[in-house]
Amino acid sequence: MRVYADISVSLDGLVAGPSPSLEDPLGIGGMQLHEWAFRLAAWRRPHGMEGGEEGPESRWVEEIAESTGAYVMGRRMFSGGAGPWDGDPNANGWWGEEPPFHAPVFVVTSHAREPLQLTGTTFTFVTEGVDAAVAQAREAANGRDVQVAGGGSAVRQAYELGLLDELQLHVAPVLLGAGAPLFVDATPSSLDLVETIATPQATHVRYRVTRR
Amino acid sequence: MRVYADISVSLDGLVAGPSPSLEDPLGIGGMQLHEWAFRLAAWRRPHGMEGGEEGPESRWVEEIAESTGAYVMGRRMFSGGAGPWDGDPNANGWWGEEPPFHAPVFVVTSHAREPLQLTGTTFTFVTEGVDAAVAQAREAANGRDVQVAGGGSAVRQAYELGLLDELQLHVAPVLLGAGAPLFVDATPSSLDLVETIATPQATHVRYRVTRR
């Protein structure tokens, strides 16, 4: 089993555009970072949508999901940018009644909350930080991989805490110019390329993290 | 003919590490960005060194050089970080008597200077900025491509001035953490992936710049 981060970034290293809002949680232009996924059958199926491209990229996304036994995410990824259950204590995240994970998800938050059971996915809210969430996810993954799914802050913290075995980036062919950078004064390290798939929509790279 | 930038960056988008100096012009760790090239026959030959890896990556580097009719670079790339010919008016750049270009090179600088003819390469010093240097290079390239070869500031200016048809990045598998970013508040744009080659040493991506 390995702990890996999985996140989409722009060519200028941003995970969201400028001026994020409740209506536009990824900021101006930020949705472009994820367009590579929306068209894939492997993304559409778990999101309850039909059709989409099959082929190597889609199969690869499917294999990643199959190898993953638990997820860790930040609070804003769960809530879509909103102060999540402040207004609505039963907020279910922005995926609706059947989230795409079909695996335990650990949400890092400062607001304690009872676990949320939806169809196929249980969200557990962890108030002790990213390291505690990753530890719980490792336990729950039952030998399969743990994905730190975003946002940028959760991935950055996991990296800085030395929790990541691998870093998987989906680099979208877009310059956003301003917004939220993935890496900010990162601890230097060298990485080993594990695999890569490139399409016009994104360059997918997976690296093993080797701390210097 | 096309005008393209060609530059090596870290995974966190930096073209040099922290604390650059005369002894270490690429800053701490910055040399790692270029290690992918040093091992290639296509890099070693024009630098007067024997051996090196042949193969698709090396052939690709060779094809790029063959298709390029003129180069543009910043003053610090020419001088290796030094105030170049302030102390030594005849400073020849840091490549020695036979630079690897074998084509006209236009150096953007604020210090006027007579052209410098070395074996196979003439350096022309342009004090009217990146746009003037690119214009002169287009003329000199005689129908072949123009490469904006770095550093980050020259590439960034060429991009912001809308002079780049293509952007070619060599992404080294390293996080430098601090140093000189390639993109700073870039004008947003979307790009089209033209080609990519990945090896453990670098992910090479070539994009066509499409201004939004």
Q: List per-block mean pLDDT (blocks of 10 residues) for chain B, which spans 212 residues.
A: 97 95 89 96 93 95 96 91 56 86 96 93 97 98 97 96 97 96 95 94 95 67
The structural domains of chain B, with segments of one domain joined by +, span 3-15+26-211
The 10 Å Cβ neighbour count of residue B210 is 12
Nearest chain B CA: its distance from A135 CA (Å): 25
Distance CA A152, CA A140 (A): 23
User: Percentage of chain A with pLDDT > 70?
Assistant: 95
pLDDT of residue A199: 93
Q: Residue B98 has which token pair?
A: 């036979």
* Min Cα separation A32/chain B (Å): 9
Closest Cα in chain B, distance from residue A35 (Å): 12
B114 by Cβ neighbours in 10 Å (0-12 / 13-18 / 19+) ranks as: exposed
The pLDDT score that the predictor gives to residue A85 is 53
* SS3 state of residue A58: helix
The upper half-sphere exposure of residue B189, i.e. CA atoms within 13 Å in the direction of its Cβ, equals 18
What number of H helices and E strands is found in chain A? 6, 12
Residue B82 pLDDT = 62
Do residues B176 and B29 lie in contact, with contact meaning Cβ atoms separated by under 8 Å?
Answer: yes
pLDDT for B88 equals 62
A173 interaction partners in chain B (CB closer than 8 Å) = 190-193, 207
Q: Determine the pLDDT at residue B90.
A: 52
Rounded Cα distance between B57 and A43, Å, is: 33
> Which residues, including other chains, have CB under 8 Å from residue B83's CB and lie 6 or more apart?
none
Q: From the list B176, B185, B190, which residue is nearest A173 (CB)?
A: B190
- In the numeric block, the tokens 């536009």 are attached to A24
Distance from C-alpha of B72 to C-alpha of B180, rounded to nearest angstrom: 19
CATH topology for B3-15+26-211 is Dihydrofolate Reductase, subunit A (3.40.430)
Residue B121 CA: distances (Å) to CA of A75, A183, B92, B148: 57, 39, 11, 16
Instruction: Point out the residue among B171, B177, B205 whose CB comes nearest to the CB of A188.
Output: B177
pLDDT of residue B80: 78
Residues 6+ apart with CB under 8 A from A13: A181, A182, A183, B12, B13, B183
Q: Using the predicted structure, report yes or no on whether residue A198 has a pLDDT greater than 80.
A: yes
Is there a contact between A43 and A55 (Cβ–Cβ < 8 Å)? no
A3-211 belongs to which homologous superfamily? Dihydrofolate Reductase, subunit A (3.40.430.10)
User: pTM to 2 decimals?
Assistant: 0.93
Distances (CA, A) of A18 to A24, A26, A29, A91, A155: 10, 8, 8, 25, 19
Q: Which of B64, B34, B69, B73 is nearest to B157 (CA)?
A: B73
**A27 — contact with chain B (CB < 8 Å)?**
no
Closest C-alpha among B146, B167, B8 to residue B77:
B8
User: In angstroms, rounded to a whole number, what is the distance separating the alpha carbons of residues A144 and B30?
Assistant: 36
> Do A190 and A176 meet the contact criterion of CB atoms below 8 Å apart?
no
* B142 C-beta neighbours (distance < 10 Å), count: 11
pLDDT, tens digit (0-9, with 9 covering 90-100), for A14-41:
999 999 888 888 999 999 999 999 999 9
The two beta strands, B145-148 and B68-74, are: parallel
B193 → closest Cβ in A28, A173, A188: A173
A29 to chain B: closest CA residue? B188
Q: What is the mean pLDDT of residues A177-202?
A: 95
